[in-house]
A and B are shown apart, each in its own frame.
Chain A
Amino acid sequence: GAVVSQHPSWVICKSGTSVKIECRSLDFQATTMFWYRQFPKQSLMLMATSNEGSKATYEQGVEKDKFLINHASLTLSTLTVTSAHPEDSSFYICSARVGAITGELFFGEGSRLTVL
């Protein structure tokens, strides 16, 4: 299957700093990637849809200025958590799709963010 690489797998930062998480499709091109957030023992909540070469589409309630998404190439999308606060601590997971727009998603391994 297709491989999605996510980096870093975990990061600890101080409150007020910004953190960038990268999501790469290693063996395929992804015009669309998805960013999810997951709290402990809970489901995945879609934050935004990242579109190559255009602006991301954010879900209702997600602050676009807080969570900056850039999809500058067909194999890389980045999520930057700006001015992080402890409540931003979470597990962030990216995914991408190969083929049909309603087909299966391939997920990265996730990035655990802890804001002190």
Chain B
Amino acid sequence: SQQGEEDPQALSIQEGENATMNCSYKTSINNLQWYRQNSGRGLVHLILIRSNEREKHSGRLRVTLDTSKKSSSLLITASRAADTASYFCATAHTGTASKLTFGTGTRLQVTL
């Protein structure tokens, strides 16, 4: 299976703290994407990082990619209660056309 793994599985922090989630994958990729899912809802795209990029920023989000280690991290700075959700990494693997493979997800809880 090409499914990536994320850790931690669950993360609970207080508002204002930073949250870091990690994603590891197995085979070479074209790009890696992060998505957010509120409970019982669809997924929302957050950020895409290409295989030749090492770091990318979008607002309070910072994503890193280390292709040598086949890993990525998502940092949410100055977290808010509204950031409470599940976060998934998804990989577009070389040679698998347009499919995305989703990681196991991290459930983030931000408390006041």
Contacts and interface: CB of A to CB of B under 8 A. Distances in A.
A107 B88 contact: no
Contacts of B101: 46
What's the dominant secondary structure at chain B's contact region?
A: strand
B98 A32 contact: yes
Interface residues of A, number: 28
Nearest to A112: B40
A36 B90 CA distance: 13
B105 A43 contact: yes
B4 to A, nearest CB: 9
A42 B97 CA distance: 24
Interface string A17-44: 0000000000000001010100001111
Interface of B: 3, 30-31, 33, 35, 40-45, 48, 88, 90, 92, 97-105, 107
Interface of A: 1, 4, 6, 32, 34, 36, 41-46, 49, 91, 93, 95, 97, 101-110, 112
